[in-house]
Amino acid sequence: MRAGKFICIIIVIVILMLLPLVVRNPYYIHLLIMVGINAVLAMTFILMLRTGLISLGIAAFWGIGAYTSALLSENAGLPVWLCFPSAAIITGIVAIIVGAFLVKQGGFGFIIQTLAFGFIIVLIFGTFEVFGGHVGIVDIPRPEPILIPYVGSIEFSFISKTPYYYLMLFLVLLMTLTLTAFYTAWAGSAWRAIGLSAYLAESLGINLFRYRLLAFVIASTVAGLMGSFYAHYYVSLVPASFGPFKTIYVHVYAILGGINSPIMGPIIGSLIMTFVPEFLRVTEGVEPIFTGILIILLILFLPSGLLGLTRLWQGRGKPHEDAAQPSP
């Protein structure tokens, strides 16, 4: 990594860490926290897309993480800090079992079956009493206060959202680093090869099924962890919020930012999608209509997203280095 880029990232992180000192309005902090969650979800979408898997069930795995974590802390009485990793691991295990069936189909079958899976999960959450039925789960415990010697304790409460903000920032950074590590490792090269041409990759001895499953499981685990965070932040869950509409929004974040930038694209996309309607004072009922129009316009006129635009402008004439296209 170039030194300049590294310094840039450090500066951005420092600015993000100092942000709560400037932004006093808790509502904006709330929006920033949601931006973080949505950005990571969109990253998982791009991760799967790179291997040629178009998942319409991202929100389902997000929901599995959230519900697991909520049930673990409320019914089993597990400390919330232990719930985060255990929810992620349980989501990962579910993803391995489900993925073994779904990923094997690949292509078209995968799309349809993830869509179906998304609906089934919402139905299961809404039908069975264990998951609270249509009312959902309320009063999920918040994370226990962190005790720091001589300073006091950091309380997680709904009024002051700042501790949640830092927790979100930490999780987003951790997930970004994890995903970057995977992208730069051997798995990342294999994924990229699969994205460029599945047949070619297979002929080079890359086990298509295994690497796709790996991408699917990692993406789902990450989504599960964010779901767990969401559960303990929002403290109430309703099944409807994990339906396919959420997945559509996740796709919009990724595509608006640019699907060729697996980390920055989702962050920029979800920032814009969250704050622009806010500043334009669009009423809540109308906002999805504009989103729908925006998606169609994006696909028609700007399929490579905003970051694709800058890349086009910078490197005119240069060959696209990592234009990962799902295989035909």
Partner 1 sequence: MSVFIQLIVDGLAMGLVYVLLASGFNLIIGISRILFIAYGEFYMLGAWIIWGLMIPLKIPFFFALLVATLGPAVLGAIVYQLIFRYIQFKEQQLLTNIVAAMGLMLLMSQATLFIVGTESRGIPSVIRGIIDVGGVRISYEKVVLIALTLAVLIGLHVFLQKSKIGRSMRAVSFNPDVAALQGVNANLVYLGTVAVGCALAGFAGGLMAPVFAVSPKMGGVTLLIILVVMLGGVGSMPGAILSGLILGMTLSFGQYFLESGVAQIIFFVVIAVILFIRPGGLFGQAEQIPLQ
Closer residue to partner 1, CB minimum distance, 49 or 225: 49
Closer residue to partner 1, CB minimum distance, 114 or 221: 114
What residues have CB less than 8 Å from 139, skipping those under 6 apart? 74, 235, 236
Radius of gyration of the chain (CA): 20
CB of 285 to partner 1, least distance (A): 5
Taking the C-alpha atoms of residue 35 and residue 79, their distance in angstroms, rounded to an integer, is: 26
CB of 230 to partner 1, least distance (A): 21
CB of 196 to partner 1, least distance (A): 12
Taking the C-alpha atoms of residue 43 and residue 250, their distance in angstroms, rounded to an integer, is: 9
CB of 82 to partner 1, least distance (A): 31
Q: Angle 57-285-282 (CA atoms, 0-180°, nearest 5)?
A: 105
Token output for 130 = 């264990």
Closer residue to partner 1, CB minimum distance, 139 or 284: 284
CB of 147 to partner 1, least distance (A): 44
Closer residue to partner 1, CB minimum distance, 144 or 322: 322
CB of 308 to partner 1, least distance (A): 12
Taking the C-alpha atoms of residue 9 and residue 15, their distance in angstroms, rounded to an integer, is: 10
Residue with token string 């997203």: 305
Closer residue to partner 1, CB minimum distance, 69 or 291: 291
What are the DSSP calls for 237-301, one per residue?
Answer: B-GGGGSHHHHHHHHHHHHHH-TT-TTHHHHHHHHHHHHHHHHTT--TTTHHHHHHHHHHHHHHH
Residue with token string 């490197």: 315
CB of 260 to partner 1, least distance (A): 11
Q: List the helix and strand counts (H, then E) for the chain.
A: 13, 2
Taking the C-alpha atoms of residue 64 and residue 253, their distance in angstroms, rounded to an integer, is: 21
Closer residue to partner 1, CB minimum distance, 85 or 104: 104
Summarize as ranges the residues that interact with partner 1 (CB under 8 A): 49, 54, 56, 101, 104-105, 107-109, 111-113, 115-116, 119-120, 123-124, 126-127, 244-245, 248, 251, 255, 285-286, 288-289, 291-296, 298-300, 303, 325-326, 328
Closer residue to partner 1, CB minimum distance, 78 or 295: 295
